[in-house]
Copies of this chain bind each other. A is one copy, B any other.
Amino acid sequence: MTKPVDDKEAERHRAKMAKRKSVQDEEVAGKTYEKGLLIVHTGTGKGKSTAAFGLALRMIGRGERVGVVQFVKGAWHTAERDALAKFGDQVAWYSMGEGFTWETQDLARDIAAAERAWAKAVELTNDDSFGLVILDELNIALRYDYLPLDEVIATLKARRPRLHVVVTGRNAKPDLIEAADLVTDMTLVKHHFAAGVKAQPGIEF
C-alpha cells in the first residue's frame, strides 16, 4: 500500500504545512483569557447529548466534577449513567424529566417536572465543586415554554466565572444562542432509520 513520494511533492507539502502551522500558531497566540463557557448543542442530527457526555469524560480526565440534570428524557441515557457511575462522587446525575412529553400528555405535570429540574440545575450551578454542568434537553423545556426563557438565560449568564455549562436539545431559542459562547448545530446528513434499521443498545440508548 506504500505510496511513493517524490522530492518536489514533499517540498510542496512541507511549504503548505509550514504556512498552515504559522496561521495556527498566530491564532493560538491571539487567545488570551480563560472563562467558563456557555455551550449549546442543538440541531436535528444525532450527537447533541452524546457530545455533552464526551465532554464530561474530558472534564473527568482533568479531575473536575460533573453534574448532569436531565430535563425530559426520563428513562434514557441509562448506559452513559451506568458507565459514569464508575467515577463515583465525581459525577452527580439527576433525571428529573417524566419521560418524553408525548408520553405524558399532561401539560401541568410536564411544567412541574421542568420546574423541579430547573431548581436542581440552579442548585448545581451554585455549587462550586462542579466544573461542568450538563442541562440535558433543557432546550425542549424552553421550546414548549415550560420555563421562563428570560429567567433561565439571566441565571446562566450570572453563573460562576469558571463554570462550564452545556445545554442540549433541538430548536435552541435564538436568545439562548445569542447568550452562548459556543454553539454547534448537529446537522442530520443521513440516518439509518430511513433504511429500516432499528434503535440499538449502545447506539441510540
Contacts and interface: CB of A to CB of B under 8 A. Distances in A.
Interface residues of A, number: 101
Contacts of A3: 111, 145-146, 148
A17 B192 contact: no
A27 B193 contact: yes
Interface string A174-186: 0001001111111
A57 to B, nearest CB: 5
A78 interface: yes
A198 B18 CA distance: 22
Interface of A: 1-3, 5, 9-10, 13-14, 17-18, 20-21, 24, 27-28, 30-35, 37, 40-43, 45-47, 49-62, 64, 77-84, 86-87, 100-108, 110-112, 115, 118, 131-132, 145-148, 151, 164, 177, 180-193, 195-203, 205
Contacts of A31: 193, 196-199
